[in-house]
Amino acid sequence: MAAARWQGIPLWALVIPITSLGLVAAVWDRPLGWLLVALVGAALIAAVFASVYHAEVIALRVGEPFGTLILALAVTVIEASLIVMLMLTGGDSASALARDTVFATVMIICNGVVGLCLLVGALRHRVLAFNVEGTTPALAALGTLVVLTLVLPSYTTTTPGPKLSPSQLVFAGGVSAALYAVYVFVQTVRHREYFLPVGVGAAEKHAPTPTNLATGAGLALLMVSLTAVVGLAKSLAPSIEGAVRAAAVPHAVVGIAVAMIVLLPETFAAVRAARLDRMQTSFNLALGSALATIGLTIPVVAAASLALDMPLDLGLPAKETALLALTLFVSGMTLAQGRATVLQGAVHLVLFAVFLFLAVVP
């Protein structure tokens, strides 16, 4: 066992990120047969496990909530880059890509990830505790950003349709980035204690602190793993799109499927934290990721749209707006008490099922 480790890092955690990234380069922009689809899928799952492992190594070194913040930021930066790249290659047909991806990410996180974490944690620990001072302000910031960027564009009158004028786009991007920056400052500096887990297991208290070399290697390998996850997800997208066409369901399902794949590392890490009765860590991952998706992706996409004169639709249709409003209302009820049971998890998972069903059968 000792021979299979380097600086405390298991050999598999070193090999998988590099191998997965090599596979991305090998299959990039080429059609995948069923054998390659299976290989890419297996590499994707392996890269997810490697991402979570390296994120946990970094978290042990820097402490919470910095560990969860690093994972959320890394995934979001790579996701935003992927969206801009797809918008550049998709032309007018990709004008709603950023909106659909951000909306799908928020719904997947606030209903799917949160619901699964609550269900898994409550089944094992009955009642889950977390800090209201950390979760409710995060939800307030998330609700503000979501309404500003995904709802209001459908009601503004300066430009027709679900679009913002250039000045409105600059304002929305600037406000999104500023509010996210304030959230990060509060989470990591001003009120860091609000985002620490309520209960920490003895095994985690005495976990050995990684060395500087192991932490640096972990950070580099985390970025490699996450790049591989997004690259493999993009490579699988045409196969998913073909399956969607064969099933005769709306094209938006492709975006949902890709978003779910990209969110796998955070989902796995959040569920694992919930099993360990660290619900605050789960919420830090979930809400922090949703906030980063809007706070970073919208400014980047807005800047790219203005600089490259790309069309950008942001306003949601009526059905999606209603689902978003219900999600924010239920999330507020869930996070208001500081304690949750299996019932809250079931409610969020039902909302997630409604979101998926109406995406397939609009």
CATH number at residue 177: 1.20.1420.30
Range of the domain at 271: 2-360
Is 44 in contact with 233 (CB distance < 8 Å)?
Answer: yes
d(CA 113, CA 314): 24
- Residue-level pLDDT at 202: 36
Q: Which residues of the chain have pLDDT under 70?
A: 1-8, 64, 67, 78, 82, 85-86, 89-94, 199-208, 241
Helix, coil or strand: residue 83: helix
Four-residue CA torsion sign, 269, 355, 322, 344: negative
- Residue-level pLDDT at 329: 95
Contacts of 317 (CB under 8 A, 6+ apart): 154, 162
- Residue-level pLDDT at 168: 93
| Helix orientation angle between 11-27 and 34-62, rounded to the nearest 10 degrees | 140
DSSP 315: P
Is 274 in contact with 114 (CB distance < 8 Å)?
Answer: no
- Residue-level pLDDT at 90: 62
d(CA 218, CA 210): 10
- Residue-level pLDDT at 353: 96
Burial of 251 (0-12, 13-18, 19+ CB in 10 A): exposed
Predicted TM-score (pTM) of the model is 0.81
- Scan for tokens 């995904």, then name that residue: 150
For residue 9, the cross-strand partners are 6
Give the total number of structural domains in the chain. Answer: 1
Length, in residues, of the chain: 362
Q: How far is CA 312 from the centre of its chain?
A: 21
- Residue-level pLDDT at 330: 96
Strands (E), the chain: 5-6, 9-10, 128-129, 339-340
- Residue-level pLDDT at 316: 92
Q: Cα-flanking dihedrals φ and ψ of residue 328, to 5°?
A: -65, -40
d(CA 240, CA 243): 5
For residue 31, the cross-strand partners are none
d(CA 97, CA 103): 10
